[in-house]
Each structure stands twice: as C-alpha cells, then as structure tokens.
C-alpha cells in the first residue's frame, strides 16, 4: 500500500465537498441504499507455522495449546459463519468493511476470506505487521464493490512510562483512506493496550492510543470539518472511560457536537446493559465504532449513520459450565472448546439516498 502524504490527504478530503448533497434522513426503504461496516476481535487467530517474528509458541502443534490444522480449520469455519451473517438483516451483501484484531499475519486473513461462506464477496485485505509483543495485529477486509483503497499506513503508538522510562510495545493504529461508494472515507482500526496490571495503572497507555487517533482525526478535520471518519476497534475501555470521553472526546449525543468532538453510538448500548465481552459476571463494551460529525450530521449528505448493533446470537454464547452466558470462545484455559471468540462483533448501518 502506498504511504499517505499530506498532499494526498488534502486532495482526498477536498473531494468530499463535491461528493455530498443534503437530504432528509429517513428509515431504510426503496429510496435509500443501505450498507454495513463492522468490527470483530477474532481472538488469537494464529496459523500453525512457527514464525521467528511472532510470539506464537503456544499456537503450534507441539505447543501448550496443541494448536493444529484441524483446530485451525474449525476456527476458520466458525469465524466465517459469524462474519457471513453480520449486517445481512438489512444488507444482503453483509458487512462491506470489517476491521479485525488479534490476527497473527496476513496469511490468516487470506485463509479467512477464502472460506466458502465469504469467498463470493471478494473481500480484499489491508494489513501491516505491528511491534506488539504477542505478535498480533489489526487488519481490514473490504468488498471491492463498495470500497476503493487510496492509501494506508500503520501509525505507531509510543508507550514510555514517564516514571520508570520503560518502553512498551503495542499494536499500531491501522489507517486506511479510500472512497466508499464514491465518497471519501477515513478508517482507523485499533486494538488499544490491555488492562494488564489493572485499569488504573494501565490507563495512560490507552490514553496514548486514543491520542494517536484523536490527532489523526483532528488533522483530517482541519482540512475538511465535514470529513467522514470512522474509528473502530477493541479499545479495552468502556464508552464512559477517560480515554474515550476526555482524550478522544467521543460523546453520547449527536446534538451540538463541537468541531473537535466525535460521536460514540455504542454509548447508549453500553448504558442499556449491552456488551461485547464478559468478566467476573459483568459485561463490558470494549469493541466500539466512533464517528466524526460528517457521518451523523444530515447537512453533510451522503452516507449517514442509521444505527449501531452488537451481534448477539444464542449460539455465540456458552450454554454450560462456569462461563455460561459468556461469549463462546476457542479455549477455556488450556481446554479447546471449539467456539468463536471471547468477544462479540459490532456493526453499524448507514443509509444514502439513491
């Protein structure tokens, strides 16, 4: 993928002024196109081949988890089942774009999009290797009939403890710029640092990741205040945590959004008790999709947000054992239970007048 220069960025966001026209926002119907975009943490999607550049020792045939071809193929089948159904209640094509996290390499995405349930959609891939200590990355798959990539890059998240001077490594922010059905769209896919060591002690790391997204968003909106920007990922924080509300400035309401603020449609879902992962019998909503004003302000025209969803199906939840009601994951400890992921996917619907 070609690197994005400032001149390219200016040209892309300038194009937005000529690709929008005002309309009255409405329900899905014959006068409106419908499209869906989602995010899914694929939970340790490793291949079975030993890699010198990733910490994949557990995920080898002779490793701690005895991760072999049979288990790998089963996981691929399970994940493709989920992805094939995302968004299909309103859009027969399913998700036009899907951000993903916890993938070992590009090859696992190539295997995923080649699954029988997904192959006909012709998903293309954007992926970069990250410096994460566990060897996991973020990625984006997209249907070429909807989205054209114009440029992409991995944006690093610098983590240096101001007290100890210790440098930590985490996933880059994947930034992709392109056109979505002819309209300029900026995508950021992230997997912010975990809560290892406790929420409070690790909060500064997620604030650092949030600041990277915020700075990039601000630079885009400085050229075009109505730019359409979508930030998605496993943020390891809930919508009301400081990294979201204070650093990213992601608000619960769309009314009177200031030029430096974003809208978080997952906030209401979270406050209504919905979530994407469970811990100690409590649900968190770490998997979020956050929008710029250009995707929620009717006056900007073009694609506009319709609604946000958590994909919660009975078969995606464990039905027995100590983790009954939790997301049906691949392993519980060292025991292979042949599930999907420890996270539920999220997705958005967008409408555009035909």
Structure pTM?
0.91
Q: Which residues pair with 234 in a beta bridge?
A: 191, 287
At residue 16, the pLDDT reads 41
Burial class of 124 by CB neighbour count within 10 A (0 to 12, 13 to 18, 19+):
middle
Mean per-residue pLDDT over the chain, rounded: 91
Report the C-alpha gap between 139 and 106 in whole angstroms: 8
List, for residues 292-342, the tens digit of each pLDDT value.
Answer: 999 999 888 899 999 999 999 999 999 998 899 999 999 999 999 999 999
List, for residues 122-152, the tens digit of each pLDDT value.
Answer: 999 999 999 998 899 999 999 999 999 999 9
Contact 235, 193 (CB under 8 A): no
List, for residues 58-78, the tens digit of each pLDDT value.
Answer: 999 999 999 999 999 999 999
Report the C-alpha gap between 277 and 234 in whole angstroms: 10
At residue 179, the pLDDT reads 98
At residue 23, the pLDDT reads 31
Nearest CA to 125 among 182, 185, 189? 189
pLDDT confidence tier of residue 14, bands split at 50, 70 and 90: very low
Give the DSSP letter of residue 317.
Answer: B
Structure token pair of residue 140: 């984006």
Report the C-alpha gap between 218 and 224 in whole angstroms: 10
Q: What is the mean pLDDT of residues 182-187?
A: 97
List, for residues 19-67, the tens digit of each pLDDT value.
Answer: 333 333 456 667 899 999 999 999 999 999 999 888 899 999 999 999 9
Q: CATH fold of 6-353, please? A: Deoxyribonuclease I; Chain A (3.60.10)
At residue 160, the pLDDT reads 81
- Residue 191 pLDDT greater than 90, yes or no: yes
Q: What is the mean pLDDT of residues 220-236?
A: 97
Nearest CA to 98 among 120, 76, 113? 113
Backbone angles phi, psi at 271, to 5 degrees: -65, -20
Report the C-alpha gap between 170 and 207 in whole angstroms: 13
Report the C-alpha gap between 87 and 133 in whole angstroms: 33
Nearest CA to 205 among 240, 245, 235? 235
- Could you give the percent of the chain with pLDDT greater than 70? 92
Give the DSSP letter of residue 26.
Answer: -
Quick one: three-class SS letters along 334-350?
CEECCCCCCCCCEEEEE
């Amino acid at each position: 993928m070609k690197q994005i220069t400032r001149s390219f960025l200016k040209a892309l966001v300038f194009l937005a002024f000529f690709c929008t026209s005002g309309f009255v926002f409405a329900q899905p119907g014959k006068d409106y196109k419908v499209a869906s975009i989602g995010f899914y943490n694929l939970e340790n999607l490793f291949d079975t081949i030993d890699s010198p550049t990733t910490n994949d020792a557990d995920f080898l045939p002779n490793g701690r988890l005895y991760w072999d071809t049979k288990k790998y193929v089963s996981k691929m089948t399970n994940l493709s089942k989920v992805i094939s159904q995302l968004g299909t209640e309103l859009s027969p094509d399913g998700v036009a774009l899907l951000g993903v996290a916890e993938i070992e390499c590009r090859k696992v995405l190539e295997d995923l999009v080649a699954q029988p349930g997904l192959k006909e959609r012709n998903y293309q891939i954007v992926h970069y290797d990250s410096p994460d200590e566990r060897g996991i990355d973020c990625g984006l798959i997209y249907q070429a009939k909807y989205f054209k990539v114009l440029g992409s890059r991995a944006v690093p998240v610098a983590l240096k403890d101001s007290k100890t001077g210790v440098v930590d490594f985490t996933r880059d922010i994947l930034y992709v710029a392109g056109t979505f059905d002819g309209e300029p769209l900026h995508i950021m896919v992230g997997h912010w640092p975990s809560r290892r060591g406790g929420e409070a002690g690790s909060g500064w790391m997620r604030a650092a990741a949030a600041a990277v997204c915020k700075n990039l968003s601000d630079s885009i909106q400085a050229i075009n205040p109505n730019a359409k920007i979508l930030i998605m990922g496993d943020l390891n924080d809930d919508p009301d945590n400081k990294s979201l509300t204070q650093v990213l400035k992601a608000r619960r309401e769309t009314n009177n959004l200031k030029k430096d603020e974003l809208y978080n449609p997952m906030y209401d879902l979270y406050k209504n008790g919905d979530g994407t992962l469970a811990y100690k019998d409590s649900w968190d909503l770490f998997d979020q999709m956050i929008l710029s004003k250009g995707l929620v302000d009717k006056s900007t025209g073009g694609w506009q947000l319709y609604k946000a969803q958590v994909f919660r199906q009975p078969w995606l939840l464990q039905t027995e054992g100590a983790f009954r009601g939790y997301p049906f994951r691949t392993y519980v400890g060292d025991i292979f239970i042949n599930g999907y992921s420890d996270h539920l996917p999220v997705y958005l619907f967008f409408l555009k007048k035909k």
